[in-house]
Amino acid sequence: MFYIGFQNKKTGLLLAGTNFNFSPPRHLYANNDHAPLLVAWDPTTVALEMIRRNITPRVFRPVEVALRGGELDPRDQRLILDIYEDFKRQRS
């Protein structure tokens, strides 16, 4: 089963969550204690989640994450253009 995760372009870290107690919201990154945030493979759902969590395409890139045997296998083979188009459409 495939999901979408968000990877910071500069550091390469996967996003684990968002702290909404701050304005603008602050991003929390995955480590040994926090699992990465995974969103179902649907361009509309991913675009709405990006808007909600203040995830910008200039800082983060969506990566395809495959769940196999309980382990995460991130594969950054392609950027999903439908997500960017849907993100721009939802944002306007």
Q: Is 86 helix (H, G, I), strand (E, B) or coil?
A: helix
Q: Is the pLDDT of residue 35 over 90?
A: no
pLDDT tens by residue, 51-76? 999 998 899 998 888 766 555 445 44
What percentage of the chain carries pLDDT values higher than 90? 26
| Distance between CA atoms of residues 34 and 47, nearest Å | 23
pTM: 0.69
pLDDT in tens, 21-32: 998 889 999 988
pLDDT, the chain, mean: 80
